[in-house]
Amino acid sequence: MTNRTAFITGASRGIGRACALALADAGARVAIAARNSAQLEEVASVIRLQGREAFPVSIDMTSADSIREALGKTAKDFGPIAILVNNAGITKDGLAIRMKRDDWDTVLATNLTGAFLACQLVLQNMMRERWGRIINISSVVGEMGNPGQANYVASKAGLIGLTKALAQEMGSRNITVNAITPGFVETGMTANLSQDLKDKMLEHIPLKRIGKPEDVAAAVRFLASEEAGYITGHVLSVNGGLYM
């Protein structure tokens, strides 16, 4: 993937940050997108210290205009996007019976609709180039469900369906579309969980450890590579055996 431009959403921390560093290390020119500009600049400086190129860009995944502007600016100023990693995601948890419509809409807009719009915008150039990699970061809960997360689970399950539909539509153009379903990973999203809850989760993980962002980034790096050119429509579990 040397000198190909990769665009990673939610790249300011956690899994997105690890993906940006891994793709940069593999030779990609990395556009990193998120809402927090200060955190993006920190990630960009780390990438540049590796001797690689980084392009921080602000994005709001609930805004079609923001997504269009960020991707357009990247393509114009940094190079056509050949690799898209849809990683941005939020949670607004609550039991379905009491879930506010706004909490449903915001999570679906960010996690699923935003990813779809980003796919739409990068596919035109990928089709022209007859090469592309789209990697959607779903979640193990999109496969197995989780109480109190109807909105998040629906959005992540939707990403799996989107992945498979796009893979079928784009296969003849040499564009691969795959999903990764991380399990329980050490990120800001899981940092606030109690130790008791973490211990209970570990009981169900055969590998007996919590995942690291780098575990997911390694899978992203592989799926973005030339070596993964015959893999599409696949859902790659990175969950320590939590769900099989």
Domain boundaries, the chain: 5-238
What are 42-63's pLDDT values in tens digits? 999 999 999 999 999 999 999 9
The CATH number of 5-238, from 3.30.70.330, 3.40.50.720, 3.30.2020.10, 2.60.40.420, is 3.40.50.720
Cα–Cα distance, 30 to 25 (Å, whole number): 10
- CA 233-106-161 angle, to 5 degrees, is 15
Residue 156 is predicted with a pLDDT of: 98
Map tokens 């592309």 to a residue. 132
Residue 16 pLDDT grade (very low, low, confident, very high; cuts 50, 70, 90): very high
Q: What is the largest CA-CA distance in the chain?
A: 52
Residue 201 pLDDT grade (very low, low, confident, very high; cuts 50, 70, 90): confident
pLDDT for 220 beyond 90: yes
Tokens linked to 179: 């999903």
Cα–Cα distance, 16 to 159 (Å, whole number): 16
Residue 133 pLDDT grade (very low, low, confident, very high; cuts 50, 70, 90): very high
Cα–Cα distance, 87 to 97 (Å, whole number): 28
Q: Which residues are identified as catalytic?
A: 152
Rounded to the nearest 5 percent, the helix, strand and coil shares of the chain are 50, 20, 30
pLDDT for 138 beyond 70: yes
Cα–Cα distance, 114 to 100 (Å, whole number): 20
pLDDT for 189 beyond 70: no
Name the amino acid, one letter, at 244: M
What are 65-96's pLDDT values in tens digits? 999 999 999 999 999 999 999 999 999 999 99
pLDDT for 192 beyond 80: no
Residue 229 is predicted with a pLDDT of: 98
What are 158-185's pLDDT values in tens digits? 999 999 999 999 999 999 999 999 999 9
Residue 221 pLDDT grade (very low, low, confident, very high; cuts 50, 70, 90): very high
pLDDT for 22 beyond 70: yes
Cα–Cα distance, 110 to 118 (Å, whole number): 11
What are 26-43's pLDDT values in tens digits? 999 999 999 999 999 999
Residue 15 is predicted with a pLDDT of: 97
Q: What is the mean pLDDT of the chain?
A: 96
